[in-house]
């Protein structure tokens, strides 16, 4: 969950020096590109440049000492509830594998494996595709006890397997895939990007010369007036790749975002791209490059349509609240202990954040996709597939 309480703290001297190195790296890239790079390229660099990017350079990202808190870090009940959906999906597969993309701190994997072990439904393998060496180390530490208790073989992957039989999990992954930011002003189309001007990085625009992207924007953006928003061909391509490689099994996507009609609402005319630094949000993508996370909301309609073209079907679409309640998170909470105990009150506070409409319950969505012949259904209380 990303919070929105300005102003952001000022980094210390070492962090500022790191950010300066990232800025120099981006500046060189801009020079090689002729003076301008699209925001999508800028985001890729500041998040993933080897040894420098936010997700690969080693800075703490998750939890109170980081920049944001995700559902699995709030309480292990989150992962325990998700495990019940994964159990239902694994029952339809032959190999009983789970692959998690971008496993963060490892909290989700640890709680999922713990719950599946308690339910005598452990997978044969739990594989993690993770680009960050630092996060791999944290994940090994977080998952070790659960892996030993469950007896599951946990592996780390450098690339997506060519064939997948089982369940793929993406929890807050697609929001970190760099989008293209497209602007319509006075009837003309532009791509937003970054230039080096006046000895600093500056947001700039160039005429949009990609006919395919313009065609997509024309279909999705509301008619009339100036408008800025994101399109994410890279995220759609990732979903398509997974869908094509998935045999019998399912793809579970949990993230914040909207169906397309809500995403490109006329009143949402500034887009959703945000930076996050020390639990503060900023609309400035150039704030502390390399130190801040950059994310955009997910267009769930685009992801569903992409998966369907690759042969999957929508097995369910729901708010996070409906999904977690359907997966039994309130029953799991009730089993924590006496309602006046500290453990219960802490867990109840976390569950409240996860399911409250004013917190994460409505903004976060869950999309379950399955191979057509796999008898997998969403456990959500209310299915919203008709809104896609």
What does the alpha-carbon distance between residue 322 and residue 85 come to, in Å, rounded to a whole number? 13
Give the range among 23-32, 45-54, 60-69, 302-311 with minimum mean pLDDT: 60-69
pLDDT at 41: 98
Residue 191: inside a domain: yes
Phi-psi region of 20 (alpha: psi -120 to 50; beta: other; left: phi over 0): alpha
CB atoms within 10 A of CB 291: 21
DSSP string, 46-101: HHHSTTTSTTTS----BSTTSSB--HHHH-HHHHHHHHHHHHHHHTT-SS-EEEEE
What does the alpha-carbon distance between residue 65 and residue 97 come to, in Å, rounded to a whole number? 33
Residue 4: inside a domain: no
Q: What is the pLDDT of residues 279-313, one digit of tens each?
A: 788 899 999 999 999 999 999 999 999 999 999 99
Residue 1: inside a domain: no
Residue 3: inside a domain: no
pLDDT at 7: 61
Q: What is the pLDDT of residues 11-35, one digit of tens each?
A: 999 999 999 999 999 999 999 999 9
Q: How far is CA 174 from the centre of its chain?
A: 4
Q: Count of domains in the chain?
A: 1
Q: What percent of the chain has pLDDT over 70?
A: 94
Q: Looking at the DSSP assignment, which residues form a beta bridge with residue 202?
A: 195
Residue 8: inside a domain: no
Residue 83: inside a domain: yes
What does the alpha-carbon distance between residue 180 and residue 205 come to, in Å, rounded to a whole number? 12
pLDDT at 4: 45
Phi-psi region of 95 (alpha: psi -120 to 50; beta: other; left: phi over 0): alpha
pLDDT class of 63 with cuts at 50, 70, 90: very low
Residue 175, domain CATH: 3.40.50.12710
Q: Looking at the DSSP assignment, which residues form a beta bridge with residue 275?
A: 282, 294
pLDDT class of 58 with cuts at 50, 70, 90: low
Q: What is the pLDDT of residues 205-263, one digit of tens each?
A: 999 999 999 999 999 999 989 999 999 999 999 999 999 999 999 999 999 999 999 99
Could you tell me the pTM of the whole model?
Answer: 0.94
Which structural domain range is residue 207 located in? 13-387
Residue 6: inside a domain: no
Contacts of 12 (CB under 8 A, 6+ apart): none
Choose among 259, 361, 250, 231: nearest CA to 317.
259
Burial of 9 (0-12, 13-18, 19+ CB in 10 A): exposed
Decide which of 188 and 5 is more confident: 188
Decide which of 151 and 160 is more confident: 160
Residue 2: inside a domain: no
DSSP 3-state of 19: helix
């Amino acid at each position: 969950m990303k919070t929105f309480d300005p102003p952001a703290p000022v980094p210390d001297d070492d962090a500022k020096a790191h950010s300066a190195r990232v800025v120099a790296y981006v500046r060189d890239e801009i020079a090689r590109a002729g003076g301008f790079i699209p925001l999508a390229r800028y985001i890729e660099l500041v998040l993933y440049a080897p040894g420098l990017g936010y997700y690969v350079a080693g800075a703490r990202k998750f939890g109170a000492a980081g920049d944001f808190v995700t559902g699995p870090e709030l309480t292990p009940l989150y992962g325990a509830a998700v495990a019940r959906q994964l159990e239902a999906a694994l029952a339809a597969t032959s190999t009983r594998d789970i692959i998690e993309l971008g496993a963060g701190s490892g909290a989700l994997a640890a709680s999922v494996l713990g719950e599946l072990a308690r339910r005598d439904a452990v997978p044969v393998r739990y594989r993690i595709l993770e680009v960050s060496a630092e996060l791999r180390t944290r994940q090994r530490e977080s998952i070790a006890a659960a892996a030993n208790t469950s007896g599951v073989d946990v592996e780390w992957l450098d690339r997506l397997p060519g064939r997948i039989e089982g369940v793929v999990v993406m929890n807050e992954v697609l929001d970190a895939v760099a989008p293209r930011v497209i602007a319509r002003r006075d009837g003309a189309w532009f791509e937003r990007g970054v230039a080096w001007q006046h000895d600093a990085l500056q947001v700039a625009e160039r005429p949009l010369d990609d006919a395919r992207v313009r065609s997509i924007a024309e279909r999705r953006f509301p008619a009339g007036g100036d408008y800025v928003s994101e399109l994410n061909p890279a995220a759609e391509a990732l979903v398509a790749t997974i869908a094509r490689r998935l045999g019998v099994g399912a793809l579970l996507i949990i993230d914040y975002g909207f169906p397309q009609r809500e995403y490109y609402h006329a009143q949402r005319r500034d887009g959703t791209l945000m930076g996050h630094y020390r639990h503060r949000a900023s609309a400035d993508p150039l704030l502390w490059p390399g130190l801040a996370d950059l994310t955009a909301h997910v267009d769930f309609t685009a992801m569903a349509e992409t998966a369907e073209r690759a042969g999957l079907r929508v097995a369910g679409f729901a708010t996070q609240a409906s999904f977690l309640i359907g997966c039994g998170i309130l029953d799991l909470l009730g089993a924590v202990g006496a309602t006046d105990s500290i453990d219960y009150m802490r867990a109840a506070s976390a569950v409240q954040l996860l399911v409250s409409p004013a917190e994460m319950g409505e903004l976060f969505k869950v999309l379950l996709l399955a191979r057509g012949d796999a008898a997998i259904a969403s456990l959500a209380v209310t299915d919203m597939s008709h809104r896609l």
